[in-house]
Structure 1
Amino acid sequence: MLLEKIKTPGLSQLSYLIGSGGRAAVIDPRRDCEIYLEKARAAGLEITHIFETHRNEDLVSGAATLSRETGARVLHGPNSAGDVVYAETTHEGDCFAIGQLEIRVIETPGHTDDHLAFALFDSAFPQTAVGVFTGDALFVGDVGRTDFYPDRKEEVAGLLYDSLQKILALGDQAIVYPAHGAGSVCGAGMAEREFSTLGHERLNNPRLKVTDRDAFIRAKLEENHYQPPYFRLMERVNLEGGAPAPRVGMPRMLSLGDVKDANADHIIDVREPMAFATGHLPGAISLPVGMISAFAGWFIEEGDSLVLVGSDHEQLASAMEHLVRIALDNVVGGYVGVVPAAAQGETMESIPMVGTDTVEQRVSGKANAWTLLDVRAADERGEAAIAGSRHIYVGELNKRWRDLDKDESYTLMCASGMRATVAAGWLASKGFEHLDIYLGSMGAWQAAGH
């Protein structure tokens, strides 16, 4: 028997390959799905089933492509917001044999209306579940968000509570196999640990400790989540099946002249924030490789053409992987020559960084026409904020930059300076000239005793 977790960095998405008796199934495959074929072949298994816990909002499903490659059946839940054209509908109580393993379907609406969990049984010991693939209903340390149906907020929160009780009824021994780990935009409280049991979660998961249904609903209604615009793109693509992923690898390499001639919608600098702030191509925006999955979908629209700027080829290839998985992959090419170009006299732009002393002086002196702009999430700001600062979440600057005055000066801050650099780069690309970044941001502010 085989059960293997495949983790997708950036998105922190977790998919699974299970196999027995020469057959295999994949749960929640990602768009670039060659990895499942390779692992199944290496184990001498034929992929016969593909199970989707729900229609994903944060990444492109690879189910349709993997089905075309293997002939495997795709099973999806009822009550989707449209027809999932590449899938069959499966319902509670349906069972599927994968050799000695058995998948039993549980309808678990709440996160989405079509959400399913898949209980895993060993037919040699059929009395209790070995584990359960919980999708986005239950994570390690958290439960699914319920903000996708704003007109039905209380109803869907209640549905999730009921669904969690069905999952917990499988027994404390069952291993939890969620669809995401820490760092995903699908939950804020996930543990760094990606292994757990229902018993452990029952005892330690803060949301599962809320055993009163009404109290659970109130707690869910108080949560704050953000929905990047690309979520709508993912939802549509995951109804239609989408085009197969382009070959993930190096983008076509460009010269500096090619970059200028490309007239791309965005020049995306994927280097580290300090490198970007020190010197970048005019008009470029900052999206470090590790932040692409979380923030590209706020600033890049479907079909936008992109030029990637990196420190090396490996960085460009990694950026391509992240973009392909969220279908923002209209990449004209990549460029790695920022430092040599600067040495040859090419004009570069930079954004100054300032420290705590400077921010203290500006705050205490009530500097004229100056704003300390906090771009953290609302929950973070609710825990601690610098008096007099203004709040706009970094992603929402995609539209709300128009609310700001280009004649004023802005110091961008977040928790460390990473998201502040993304925000500053975006504002600079929109013509803001009086910007700097608080290096260390809230971390540095609190370390100074504030």
Structure 2
Amino acid sequence: MLLEKIKTPGLSHLSYLVGSGSQAAVIDPRRDCEIYVEKARAEGLTITHIFETHRNEDLVSGAPILAEWTGAKVLHGPNADGEVSYAETAREGDVFEIGQLRIEVLETPGHTDDSLSYVLHDSAYPDGPVGVFTGDALFVGDVGRTDFYPDRAREVTGLLYDSLQKLQSLGDQTILYPAHGAGSVCGSGMAEREFSTIGHERANNPRLQIADREAFIEAKLAEVHYQPPYFRLMERLNLEGGSAAPRVMQPKALTLDQLESAAADHVIDIREPGAWCAGHIPGSYCIPVGMIPAFAGWFIAEGESNALVAADQSALTTAAQHLVRIGLDNIAGGYTGVIPAAAQGRDLGQVPMIKTGEVRRRLEQKQAGWTLIDVRAADEREEAKIDGSRHIYAGHLNEQWQDLDPLESYTLMCASGMRATVAASWLASKGFGNVDVYLGSMGAWKAAQG
């Protein structure tokens, strides 16, 4: 018997390979899905079933490609806001046999209308379920977001409450296998660990502590979530069936001249913020490689071309993987060597990083034509903020930059300076000549207060 978790870094996506006898099933495969075939083959298993817990919003599903490669049947839930072209519909009570394993379907709507959970039974140990694959209904330490149907907000939140009661009825022994872990955009309160049981969640998950249905609805409606524009692309591709991921993730190597002549819609510098601020290709903006899954989809539209600037080839490969998994794989190539470019006499852009004393001085003097912009999420700002700052979430600058005066001066801040650099770099790429980054940002501000 086999049960293996496959984690996708960056997206914090969790998929699973389950096998018994000679058969195997995959739950929520990612787009670059060779890994499932390789692992199943290594165990002497044939993939016969592919189970989707819901139509994902944050990544391209690999289910249609994996089905084409293996001949496996894809199962998806009802009420998917359209026909899932590559899947059959599974409904509550359906049962699938995988060797000595039995997988039973539960309908658990709320996060999405088509959400399913798959309950895992072992026929050799029939006293209750072994585990449950919950998709985005129940996480370790959190529950699914319910903001995808704003005109039905109370209804779908109530549906999630009902679904959670159904999941809790499986028994405390049931092992929890969610579709995401900490760091995912699908929830903000997930625990750092990726193992739990229904019993442990019942005792410790803050949302499961709310016993009253109406109180649960009110608490969920008060949450603030952000939906990057690329979510709409993911939803469409996960109905139609996205194409296979490129087999080779290494972007084409570009010289500096080729980078400039490529005329890509976006030149993305994936180095660390300090490196970008110290010297960067003019017109580029900074999304550090580890932040691509969270922020690239705010600034890059479907079909737009991207050129990458990195410190080394391995970073280019990782960046390409991140982009491909969210369907933004029109990559013109990658360039390494910003310092050699300076040595060749090329002009590089620079953005200053300023400290707490300078920020405080500007605030106290009410410096004319200057604004401190806080790009953190709304819930972070509710906990603590700097008086006199203006709030614009980093992702929302994809459009709201047009409401700012490029002749004025702006300091960007967040919790540490990472997101602030993304925001400052985006403004700089749009022709804002007077931007800087608050180094340490809210962390430094709090430290200075003692």
TM-score, length basis structure 1: 0.99
Quick one: which amino acid aligns to residue 4 of structure 1? E
- Residue type of the partner of 1:302? E
- Tell me the residue number matched to 1:242: 242
CA distance in 1, matches of 2:407, 2:266: 24
* Contact kept in structure 2, 1:230 and 1:301, CA below 8 Å: yes
State the alpha-carbon separation in 2 of the partners of residues 301 and 126 from structure 1.
Answer: 50
Once the two structures are superposed, the pairs formed by residues 91-102 of structure 1 within 5 Å of their partners are 91-102=91-102
Q: Which amino acid aligns with 1:306?
A: N
Match of 2:365 in 1: 365
- Counterpart contact for 1:248–1:321, Cα < 8 Å: no
Match of 1:409 in 2: 409
Distance 1:398 1:308 in 2: 19
**Cα distance between partner residues in 2 of 1:16 and 1:243:** 21
How big is each residue's C-alpha offset from its partner over 1:404-447, in whole Å with a ceiling of 9 and x where there is no partner?
A: 11111100000000000000010011111110000000000001
Give the AA of the match of 1:371: T
Matched, 1:261 2:261: yes
Structure 2 residue aligned with 1:348: 348
The Cα of 1:449 is off from its aligned counterpart by: 1.4
The code of the aligned residue for 1:255 comes to: T
User: CA–CA distance in 2 between the matches of 1:234 and 1:49?
Assistant: 22
Counterpart amino acid of 1:288? P
**Which residue in the other structure is 2:111 paired with?**
111
Determine the C-alpha separation between the residues in 2 that align with 1:279 and 1:323.
24
Q: Partner residue of 1:304?
A: 304
Please tell me the residue identity of whatever aligns with 2:397.
Answer: L
User: 2:324 is matched with which residue?
Assistant: 324
Contact 1:248 1:324 in 2 (8 A): no
Structure 2 SS opposite 1:192: coil
Q: What does 1:167-316 align with in structure 2 at a 5 Å threshold?
A: 167-316=167-316
CA distance in 2, matches of 1:247, 1:20: 29
> Secondary structure of 1:207's partner?
helix
Structure 1 runs not aligned, ≥5 long: none
Partner deviation per Cα, 1:287-346 (whole Å, 9 max, x = no partner) = 111000000000000000111110000000000000000000100110001110111110
Q: Which one-letter code corresponds to 2:280 in the other structure? A: H
Q: Give 3-state SS (helix, strand or coil) of 1:251's partner.
A: coil
Q: CA-atom RMSD, angstroms?
A: 0.6
Cα shift at 1:246 = 1.1
Separation in 2, partners of 1:250, 1:24: 30
1: CA distance, partners of 2:248 / 2:268: 18
Q: Which runs of 5+ in 2 are unaligned?
A: none
Query: How far did 1:242 drift?
Result: 1.1
Q: Indicate the residue corresponding to 1:126 in structure 2.
A: 126
Alignment-derived partner of residue 59 in structure 2: 59
Counterpart Cα distance in 1 of 2:339 and 2:208? 52
> 1:38 corresponds to which residue?
38
Q: Matches of 2:154 and 2:164 in 1, distance apart?
A: 16
Once residues 198 and 259 of structure 1 are traced to their aligned partners in structure 2, the CA distance between those partners, rounded to angstroms, is 52
Aligned residue number for residue 153 of structure 2: 153
User: What secondary structure does 2:38 align onto?
Assistant: helix
**In percent, how many aligned pairs have the same letter?**
71
Quote the Cα distance in structure 1 between the aligned partners of 2:440 and 2:227: 26
Equivalent position SS for 1:75: strand
Classify the secondary structure of the residue corresponding to 1:388: coil
Q: Show the counterpart of 2:11.
A: 11
Shift of 1:403: 1.2
Show the 5 A alignment for 1:14-33: 14-33=14-33
Q: Give the secondary-structure state (helix, strand or coil) at the position aligned to 2:207.
A: coil
Corresponding residue for residue 375 of structure 2:
375
Greater than 4 Å deviation, 4+ residue runs: none
- 1:435 maps to which residue? 435
Give me the whole-angstrom Cα distance separating, in 2, the residues matched to 1:439 and 1:235.
37
Deviation at 1:123, TM superposition (A): 1.0
Q: Which amino acid aligns with 2:224?
A: N
Q: Report if aligned partners of 1:268, 1:307 keep a CA contact under 8 Å in 2.
A: yes
SS of equivalent residue, structure 1 residue 165? helix
The Cα of 1:127 is off from its aligned counterpart by 2.8
User: 1:248, CA displacement in angstroms?
Assistant: 3.8
